[in-house]
Amino acid sequence: MTDQAPQTEAQTAHRSLYAPDARTRRRNAAERRFRLYGLIAVAVGLGFLAVLLTTIVRNGLPAFTQTHVTLEVALPEAVVDPAGTRDPALMAKVYTFGYEPLLDSALAAAVAGQGIDTDMTPARLGRILSAGAPAQVRRAVLADPSLAGQSVTFRLLASSRVDGYLKGRVARADLAQDRNLDPQHLDIVDELRVAGIVRRGFNAGFITGADASESRPEQAGIGVAALGSVFMMLVVLALALPFGVAAAIYLEEFAPKNRLTDVIEVNISNLAAVPSIVFGILGLAAFIQVAHLPQSAPLVGGLVLTLMTLPRIIIPARAALTAVPPSIREAALGVGASKTQAVFHHVLPLAMPGILTGIIIGLAQALGETAPLLLIGMIGFVASTYPDGVASGFLDPNSAMPAQIYEWAKRADPAYYERAWGGIVVLLVFLLGMNLIAVILRRRFERRW
């Protein structure tokens, strides 16, 4: 054995601790590089989050303001109530295009009243207004027939081009090819804005309103779709809560160690990773093809999302049950409770906050899910009216927030992109709210054993 040789070699290798050799310097440089890569990776991840959130907020906030034109509209009896009866049923025979000239001339009068010179006809000038504005006036008149024969001040929607101009989305150069609006219109808008007639304000209609047709993005809102989402979440909650909790209780407290239990456990963990679109296929085949449930109904959407969410709820629910120490069960059994009583009277109440947290997070995931909804028909039509009752809320065709956002993203008019981003802001506010509840619940009831 050559005991001496390495020893002397070692002596030369181990010089003073204070003077690092080249190799150590190299190794330390590699160490710093490695550390830097890690730091960069964390920074990139956080950077993506920051970019994503700022993009959403920057593009989405404009949807929460909308341009309106405040006009005093004369409502001559001869036009709005030709019969002179003030009977809404008869007045309804005057369609919206009967109101159009009234608005056009009101606008022309306002323009003239500001001393603005224009050679445009009132009808062309009227394109500054939304195509939905006459309907707005008509609705007001039908609701209050006494308005006929008076002059009333209305706050009317401006067209999406004008709105885009005020938000900086539309420039004069963009209008060269536009059939609806000319740069001259924008000059007039500029002057009306100075006069306070055209004004950008908070857009409550976006939050509460219904979807609108392709050509009227200024009217589109996410309210109806949000209600559709709420109905779907009610279905998910009503089904996923009992089934998820029961499944977790069974697996955690009662399941014998056998084949069936193994199959169920493996199944749940795999089901949690099945792509969501496959659940859409299941919903299409099972609920629509076989069970003939109605397409586009929140009930069906809720059923599909329930099946998708269940495994994602069972897993945290089991964790919450495991966290309850066995001493609680033993104490209950020790005073003569049956196993079922021990679980339902003692273990479950203690695990409930944890279970609820998991359910809320599962619900939040379901709320944002889009792909399965596309397959059961929750897109492709205009969700234009609110359901007129609870039953129709579950059964009538509706959209859901993510499906509505998808629908807007596919439309050609860029004004709808703004709506899509705005819809995302609303969706994220919902998600944030749910997650906050989950966090508070966890903080409030968290127990350390």
Partner 1 sequence: MTADAPKILARNVQVHYADTHAIKDVDADIADRTVTAFIGPSGCGKSTFLRCLNRMNDTIDICRVSGRIELDGEDIYDRKVDPVRLRARVGMVFQKPNPFPKSIYDNIAYGPRIHGLARSRADLDEIVETALRRGAIWDEVKDRLDAPGTGLSGGQQQRLCIARAVATEPEVLLMDEPCSALDPIATDQVENLIDELRSRYSVVIVTHSMQQAARVSQKTAFFHLGNLVEFGDTDQIFTNPQDPRTEAYISGRIG
Partner 2 sequence: MSALWTLLAVLALALAGHLLGRARAMSAAGGDRRVLHSLPVHHGASVAIAAAVPALALLLIWLAVQPLAVDARIAASISPEGRSAELMMSDIRRLAEGLDRATAAGRLTPAEAEDPGADMGRIRAAVTASGIPLGSAAGAPELDAAQRYRALETSGNLLRTFAVLGLALLGLGRGLARIRKDFRARNIVERAVRRALLFAASVAVITTLGIVLSLIFNTVSFFRLYPAADFFLSADWTPRFGGGSSLGILPLLWGTLYISAIALAVAVPIGLFAAIYLSEYAAPGLRAIAKPLIEVLAGIPTIVYGLFALLTVGPLLLRMFGPGSLGWMDAASSVLTAGLVMGIMLIPFVSSLSDDIISAVPQSLRDGSLGLGATRSETVRQVVLPAALPGIVGAVLLAASRAIGETMIVVLGAGAAARLSLNPLEAMTTVTAKIVSQLTGDADFSSPEALVAFALAMTLFVLTLGLNVLALYIVRRFREQYE
Near partner 1 in 26-45, by CB under 8 A: 27-28
Q: Which is nearer to partner 2, 37 or 95 (CB)?
A: 37
Indicate whether 1 belongs to the interface with partner 1 (CB under 8 A). yes
> Which of partner 2, partner 1, none does residue 20 bind (CB under 5 to 8 Å by kind)?
partner 1
Angle between helices 348-368 and 415-445 (to 10 degrees): 170
Q: How far is the CB of 9 from partner 1 (least distance, A)?
A: 8
Instruction: Look up residue 52 and give its two tokens.
Output: 């994503």
Stretch of 114-122, 126-134, 389-397, 415-423 contacting partner 2, by CB under 8 A: 415-423
> Which of partner 2, partner 1, none does residue 433 bind (CB under 5 to 8 Å by kind)?
none
Indicate whether 269 belongs to the interface with partner 2 (CB under 8 A). yes
Indicate whether 238 belongs to the interface with partner 2 (CB under 8 A). no
Q: How far is the CB of 215 from partner 2 (least distance, A)?
A: 20
Return the bridge partners of 66, or none.
201
Indicate whether 24 belongs to the interface with partner 1 (CB under 8 A). yes
Q: Which of 109, 153, 158, 166 is nearest to 133 (CA)?
A: 158
Q: Per CB under 8 A, which of residues 140..199 are in contact with partner 1?
A: none
Indicate whether 6 belongs to the interface with partner 1 (CB under 8 A). yes
Q: Which is nearer to partner 1, 11 or 177 (CB)?
A: 11
Neighbouring C-beta atoms of residue 423, cutoff 10 Å: 27
Q: Are 366 and 311 in contact (CB under 8 A)?
A: no
Q: How far is the CB of 41 from partner 1 (least distance, A)?
A: 21
Stretch of 15-23, 125-133, 175-183, 293-301 contacting partner 1, by CB under 8 A: 15-23
Return the bridge partners of 158, or none.
129
Neighbouring C-beta atoms of residue 435, cutoff 10 Å: 14
Handedness of CA 12, 13, 18, 21 (dihedral sign): positive
CA distances from 25 to 18, 32, 33 (A): 12, 10, 12
**How would you label 68-92 residue by residue, b for 16+ Cβ within 10 Å and e otherwise?**
bbbbebebeeebbbeeeebeeeebe
Q: Are 156 and 68 in contact (CB under 8 A)?
A: yes
> Which of partner 2, partner 1, none does residue 250 bind (CB under 5 to 8 Å by kind)?
partner 2
Indicate whether 52 belongs to the interface with partner 2 (CB under 8 A). yes
Q: How far is the CB of 10 from partner 1 (least distance, A)?
A: 4
**How would you label 180-200 residue by residue, b for 16+ Cβ within 10 Å and e otherwise?**
ebbeebbebbebbbebebbbb
Applying CB under 8 A, the residues found at the interface with partner 1 are: 1-3, 6-7, 9-10, 13-14, 16-18, 20, 23-24, 27-28
